[in-house]
Amino acid sequence: GAGVSQTPSNKVTEKGKYVELRCDPISGHTALYWYRQSLGQGPEFLIYFQGTGAADDSGLPNDRFFAVRPEGSVSTLKIQRTERGDSAVYLCASSLGVTGNSGELFFGEGSRLTVL
Amino acid sequence: AQKVTQAQTEISVVEKEDVTLDCVYETRDTTYYLFWYKQPPSGELVFLIRRNSFDEQNEISGRYSWNFQKSTSSFNFTITASQVVDSAVYFCALSEVISNFGNEKLTFGTGTRLTIIP
């Protein structure tokens, strides 16, 4: 499709396991963002990529979280040694990433992570 | 630090009634942007509007209107003649510019769940 695609849509894992969440942004969008949304809360910023580089990773909660975007398109959010508190919906968004654009972020439907 | 407060956790109105969703923000930036997003049950956040801090003119788009008042740090959203399809969670957000490209990091409020009763 033409929108932001996230896989898997649902992931259930056990405490201590490693997970990867994938985001395929809209073609041509150079800016990519990861947000995390806990139940009943608004999305919280995790990391922002401009092209291949992580321009701002100030929202990553700790060093168990890492994200890559090696070719400037698809991004993978990696979580090591998962904890129950990591359970949330992980949202990916992309934008044109150029000055003067509308500022509109296009969001995917999210990956729901449940850590048992 | 930036903060967005949406004091209304849940609102229910009967179809065709008007409804206003409140948003109050805090920032030390002189230049910033305010947003509203809609999150239907599918979970995908849908962009509704972006306003520049220097532009306090109210905006109307169909049944939607926005009232930005810098003096009270508020950016309220009104839906006129509500419809069942308007049922969703609505988020207000405040931006912080984080790159030379003008890209923005959004701080979201906790959202208001709006239910339109047929």
What is the pLDDT at residue B30?
A: 84
Q: What percent of chain A has pLDDT over 70?
A: 93
A10 to chain B nearest CA, in Å?
A: 12
What is the pLDDT at residue A101?
A: 56
Q: How far is CA B15 from CA A44, A50, B62, B63, B85, in A?
A: 32, 43, 16, 13, 10
Q: How far is CA B46 from CA A2, A50, A82, B91, in A?
A: 14, 22, 29, 10
What is the pLDDT at residue A107?
A: 93
What is the pLDDT at residue A98?
A: 64
What is the pLDDT at residue A105?
A: 87
In the structure, what pLDDT confidence band is assigned to residue B99 with cuts at 50, 70 and 90? Answer: low
With a cut of 70, list the residues of chain A below it in pLDDT: 1, 97-103
List pLDDT tens digits, range A66-82.
Answer: 999 999 899 999 999 99
Partners of A89 on chain B (C-beta within 8 Å) are 43
A19 to chain B nearest CA, in Å?
A: 21
What is the pLDDT at residue A102?
A: 58
In the structure, what pLDDT confidence band is assigned to residue B102 with cuts at 50, 70 and 90? Answer: low
Mean predicted confidence (pLDDT) in B83-111? 86
> Is residue B101 predicted with pLDDT exceeding 80?
no
User: Using the beta-carbon criterion (under 8 Å), do B99 and A105 form an inter-chain contact?
Assistant: no
List pLDDT tens digits, range B41-85.
Answer: 888 899 999 888 888 888 888 999 999 999 999 999 999 999 999
What is the pLDDT at residue B89?
A: 97
> Is residue B93 predicted with pLDDT exceeding 70?
yes
User: Using the beta-carbon criterion (under 8 Å), do B106 and A105 form an inter-chain contact?
Assistant: yes
Residue B78, C-beta contacts closer than 8 angstroms, at least 6 positions apart: B18, B19, B20, B21, B64, B65, B66, B67
